[in-house]
């Protein structure tokens, strides 16, 4: 599969991650009457994180719909609308509340196309603000994306930049399958170049953010940002890291990871979700099962969330998820000492 360097089209304005999503939503709604946004407080309030902003005033209450606090109900309503000709985009206020909507997403949305012998499609998008770092404590800070990457029938993406936030959203809305977009709360205000015209970032395509020869660091969402920052610091100590931003967890662009590992011979996987039984386990196993394994000069290393619910105390909260310093230290050990 093709990979690309982090060189978004030149001469574009900068938008925040939240603004980029909003622009994508507006363009999708403009282009296609079947697209509508719904969720708790997406209307006049403009969304809990301000993502829908003024869309209510631009598109009206039929296209930007405030719902009661009924996560299971609204997830099911998205399924029903999707199988009968609409293209719902559902916002869950915090990704944690997907736990209340699991039934419809996992038992219904994911399986209907298959169970019905391919006779129905479920073109719905669920947007989920996730991640820690805001002091919101254990029920508002989780990174649950791996759960959904485990489910056949779902697609799962995790944009790290404003550019990808818009491009993956538009690709997700086009997709005939249910797509879950895990947005990161700490990224909403980050800014970057975003082309004005609609464009798609293909789902299932990783991006090589930095080319390097000494080790491969794989991450997504905010961990891809931290990995890139760590790589810049490592360069100062003569460690040349290649950084892969997964962008999509399911489908996973394994070819790009494997090609990189064959070149660098070392792999560090960084993710915010709990370390055990997570994304890192899957990528490690896929490498171990592939010919890329023969190229490894060091054991595969994982940096993931601590084995604990997210604590409220800010020092503990920070300690519970990989930070830039942790990535630098782990990469250094992997290259210099042969294990992280």
Partner 1 sequence: MASLPGSRTADAQAPERAELAALGDDALRVALSRMHLIRKFEETAEASYMRGLIHGTMHLSIGQEASAVGTTLKLERDDYILSTHRGHGHCIAKGADPARMFAEFFGKENGYCRGRGGSMHIADVEGGNLGANGIVAGGLPIAVGVGMSIKAQKQHRVCMVFFGDGATNEGAFHESLNMASIWRLPIVFVCENNKYGMSMDIARAMAVPNVADRASSYAIPGIAVDGNDLPAVVAAAEPAIDLARRGGGPTLLECKTYRLRGHSKSDRNLYRTKEEIETWRDKDAIRRLEHELVAHNRFAETELRAIEEAAHKTIEQALEFAKASPDPDPAQLTRDVYAD
Ligand X SMILES: Cc1ncc(C[n+]2csc(CCOP(=O)(O)OP(=O)(O)O)c2C)c(N)n1
Mind telling me the catalytic residues?
A: 71, 140
Q: Does 91 bind ligand X (CB under 6 A)?
A: no
* In the complex, least distance from residue 67 CB atom to partner 1, rounded to whole angstroms: 8
Tokens of 51: 């993502």
What is the three-class DSSP state of 16?
A: strand
Rounded distance between C-alpha atoms, residue 30 and residue 55, angstroms: 11
Q: Work out which of 202, 309, 329, 333 binds partner 1, going by CB under 8 A.
A: 309
Question: Which of 87, 24, 37 has the alpha carbon at shortest distance from 67?
Answer: 37
Q: Does 97 bind partner 1 (CB under 8 A)?
A: yes
Structural contact between residues 176 and 85, judged by C-beta atoms closer than 8 angstroms: no
Rounded distance between C-alpha atoms, residue 35 and residue 48, angstroms: 21
* Cβ-proximal residue to ligand X, closest one: 97
Q: Does 49 bind ligand X (CB under 6 A)?
A: no
What is the three-class DSSP state of 236?
A: helix
* In the complex, least distance from residue 43 CB atom to partner 1, rounded to whole angstroms: 7
Q: Work out which of 115, 314, 336, 338 binds partner 1, going by CB under 8 A.
A: 314
Q: Does 40 bind ligand X (CB under 6 A)?
A: yes
Beta bridge partners of 38: 65, 90
Beta bridge partners of 329: none
Window contacting ligand X (CB under 6 A); options: 26-34, 92-100, 217-225, 287-295:
92-100
Q: Work out which of 30, 32, 33, 139 binds partner 1, going by CB under 8 A.
A: 139
Rounded distance between C-alpha atoms, residue 263 and residue 265, angstroms: 6
Structural contact between residues 145 and 98, judged by C-beta atoms closer than 8 angstroms: no
Structural contact between residues 181 and 168, judged by C-beta atoms closer than 8 angstroms: yes
Window contacting partner 1 (CB under 8 A); options: 128-136, 156-164, 263-271, 291-299:
128-136
* In the complex, least distance from residue 71 CB atom to ligand X, rounded to whole angstroms: 6
Binding string to partner 1 for residues 62 to 81, with x set by CB under 8 A, is what?
Answer: ----x-xxxxxx--------
Helix H or strand E encompassing 327: helix 324-337
* In the complex, least distance from residue 212 CB atom to ligand X, rounded to whole angstroms: 42
Contacts with partner 1, residue ranges (CB under 8 A): 40-41, 43-46, 48, 66, 68-73, 96-97, 100, 134-140, 306-309, 311-316, 319-320
């Amino acid at each position: 599969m093709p990979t690309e360097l982090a060189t978004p089209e030149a001469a574009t304005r900068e938008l925040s991650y939240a603004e980029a999503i909003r622009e994508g939503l507006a363009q999708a709604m403009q282009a296609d009457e079947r697209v509508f946004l719904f969720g708790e407080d997406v209307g006049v309030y403009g969304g809990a994180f301000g993502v829908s902003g003024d869309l209510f005033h631009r598109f009206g209450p039929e296209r930007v719909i405030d719902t009661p606090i009924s996560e299971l109900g609204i997830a099911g309503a998205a399924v029903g609308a999707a199988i009968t000709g609409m293209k719902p985009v559902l916002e869950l206020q915090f990704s944690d509340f997907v736990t209340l909507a699991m039934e419809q997403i996992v038992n219904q949305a994911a399986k209907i196309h298959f169970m019905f012998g391919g006779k129905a499609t479920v073109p719905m998008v669920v947007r989920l603000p996730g991640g820690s770092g805001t002091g919101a404590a254990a029920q508002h800070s989780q990174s649950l994306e791996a759960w959904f990457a485990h489910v056949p029938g779902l697609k799962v993406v995790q944009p790290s930049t404003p550019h990808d936030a818009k491009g993956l959203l538009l690709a997700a809305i086009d997709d005939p399958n249910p797509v879950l977009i895990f947005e990161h709360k700490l990224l909403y205000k980050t800014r970057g170049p975003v082309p004005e015209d609609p464009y798609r970032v293909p789902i299932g395509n990783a991006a090589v953010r930095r080319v390097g020869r000494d080790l491969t660091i794989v991450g997504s969402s905010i961990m891809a940002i931290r990995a890139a920052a760590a790589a810049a610091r490592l360069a100062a100590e003569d460690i040349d890291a290649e950084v892969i931003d997964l962008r999509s967890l399911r489908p996973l662009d394994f070819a790009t990871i494997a090609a990189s590992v064959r070149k660098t011979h070392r792999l560090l996987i960084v993710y915010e979700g709990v370390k055990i039984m997570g994304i890192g386990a899957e990528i490690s196993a896929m490498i171990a099962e592939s010919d890329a394994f023969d190229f490894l000069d060091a054991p595969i290393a994982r940096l993931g969330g601590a084995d604990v619910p997210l604590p409220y105390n800010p020092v503990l909260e920070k300690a519970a998820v990989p930070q830039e310093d942790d990535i630098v230290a782990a990469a250094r050990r992997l290259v210099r000492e042969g294990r992280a």
